[in-house]
Amino acid sequence: MGAEPVPPRREVITGKAMTRAAPEPVSIAENRPVVRKLMRRQMRAALTVTALLALFLGLLPVLFRLLPAVDSADVPLAVWLALGVAPYPALLAIGAWYVRRAERNEGDVTGR
């Protein structure tokens, strides 16, 4: 005949279950220095990103001035690359840096 089915193995738990306690909600009024610290750090990161973007995008006209024959009918490949390709990886990199920095700031202040 056939083999009898094997019953499933039973596991015995001998220790306490490890659970993470949820942080208790805290009033902003109680943590005013912490909130101020977070706001200062976020403002510093935002101003840094704004300065980087202004510098990067502000230098594009200087780049066009240095490139020859920009005002002719034939637009060189370098101009197309400078306008259509170069800004986007830089914008993505600056945006990714800002997101990482903002998350790190929040983690540093909240202790997570």
Cα dist from 70 to 52, 56, 61, 85, whole Å: 25, 20, 11, 17
pLDDT at 4: 82
109 touches 34 (CB < 8 A)? yes
Locate all alpha helices (DSSP H) within the chain, ordered by sequence: 32-58, 60-66, 77-84, 87-110
User: pLDDT by residue (tens digit) across 93-112?
Assistant: 999 999 999 999 888 877 76
Interatomic CA distance for residues 33 and 58, integer angstroms: 37
The tokens for 61 are 């006209």
**pLDDT at site 92:** 93
For residue range 10-31, what is the model confidence (pLDDT) as tens digits? 877 777 776 766 666 666 667 7
pLDDT in tens, 40-80: 999 999 999 999 999 988 887 787 777 665 555 566 676 67
Higher pLDDT, 61 or 92: 92
Write down the residue that tokens 């005949």 correspond to: 1
